[in-house]
Structure 1
Amino acid sequence: MAISATMLMTLDGVVQSPGRADEDTRDGFTQGGWAARYGDEVLAAEMGKGMAHTGAMVFGRRTWQDFISAWASATDGNPFTEHMNAATKYVVSRTLPDADAWPNSVLLRGVGDVAALHGPLAIVGSASLVRSLHAAGMVDHYTLVIHPLTLGSGARLFDGPAPLTEFSLTGSVTTPKGVIVAHYSRVSPARR
């Protein structure tokens, strides 16, 4: 099994609430929606390439619930929308009673359940889950979508200790608006 995580982030590592002002206001975060102004055709094409190589998707509870409102009822003909709705979606949560709110969703209770899955898995967002999977040595590939701004506050990709793990840059693209899409693959240590 290979797990690939795609994370939108700022130069100072903030991953909180890239899409909308109200996306994630935990801890008084008021700078949500910071990624919107950096969208362009190059970035859309790069994100589309990532969707073309994914199998099932894995989400943390908050991201899964947020994506339901954006994607579950969309009928816009967008290939990303079609992929999101057709893909098997695993949601990792200790608090959800079920995953019936979005078709093709399966409820998992923890990181151990993710380890038991087979096939390629993709994660978009879900920073808390990504941190847990990284700590367990389970993230094989990162696509970091680095936006050219700093926010000074907000949840960061690695808020706290992360185990020593080496990654190799396998490719990168810079968009006309200065976003760097960097692809990394894990080279050490071996999966636990």
Structure 2
Amino acid sequence: MAKLTLTTFLSLDGVMQAPGGPDEDTDGGFEYGGWTVPFADEDMIDFMNGVMGRSAAFLLGRRTYDIFAGYWPRVTDPDDPIAGPLNTRPKYVVSTTLSDPGWQNTTVVSTDVAEEVARIKERTGGGELQVHGSGGLARFLMAHGLIDEYNILTYPVVLGRGRRLFPEGGRPTALERIGARETPSGISIHTYRPTGPARFGSFDLDE
């Protein structure tokens, strides 16, 4: 069975919207798109190349799929560490409106999403079924306990507004940190594995 992993970029205040460019996602009047770009460095790129090298298939939300499909097919070098896997490996896009995806090896998932994701994990076999960005899908998967591992790249910037990964009212979850590093530009990269429900206690003094 494939491991379902989520890799995403976050600001210090938890925003994940439009990390890669000013026109990527302006919903809600968001005008800070491209906030990761000033911090891009070789260590971050090396980490992402390693992530992509472990992919067996990709599971994407509709907005992220459209962004990727508009960019990565134009990178035609089969040895490119990001374009190569994205262009050749199976892709699943969760959408109720997309009927004819143009990107090769793409399957649309439109109904019974939780059950279908579980089936995709089962039949993918080894490697990782990877989610990148895809905030709405990520929150759905978290709510259904389907994410096996998180790669969170936190950037040293506060945005003050924009869509966040972890929603108000989300499932309280404990996680184990299984990897950590920091890049020269200040990006903190942490890998977490869910360990079950969050636990709670008290620092009150014993009577």
- The one-letter code matched in structure 1 to 2:19 is P
**Which residue of structure 2 aligns with residue 149 of structure 1?**
157
The CA deviation at 1:188 is 1.2
Question: Residue 86 of structure 2: SS of its match in structure 1?
Answer: helix
Distance 2:180 2:31 in 1: 30
Distance 1:111 1:27 in 2: 28
Identity %: 37
Which of 92, 109, 126 is matched with 1:90 structurally? 92
The CA deviation at 1:160 is 2.3
Distance 2:194 2:51 in 1: 17
Which of 172, 186, 200 is matched with 1:178 structurally? 186
Matches within 5 A, 1:13-162: 13-76=14-77, 77-99=79-101, 101-109=102-110, 110-117=113-120, 118=122, 119=125, 120-162=128-170
- 1:81-133 Cα offsets, whole Å, 9 max, x none, are 1111011000011111132x100111111333212212331011101100000
- The one-letter code matched in structure 2 to 1:112 is E
The CA deviation at 1:73 is 2.4
Verify the 8 A CA contact 2:22 2:32 in the aligned structure 1: yes
Verify the 8 A CA contact 2:53 2:81 in the aligned structure 1: no
What residue ranges of structure 2 are gaps of 5+ in the alignment? Answer: 198-207
Count of matched residue pairs: 188
What residue ranges of structure 1 are gaps of 5+ in the alignment? Answer: none
**Which residue of structure 2 aligns with residue 12 of structure 1?**
13
Distance 1:61 1:113 in 2: 16
TM-score, reference length from structure 1: 0.94
Question: Residue 75 of structure 1: SS of its match in structure 2?
Answer: coil
- 1:34-85 Cα offsets, whole Å, 9 max, x none, are 0011111111111111112121100001100110111022224522111110
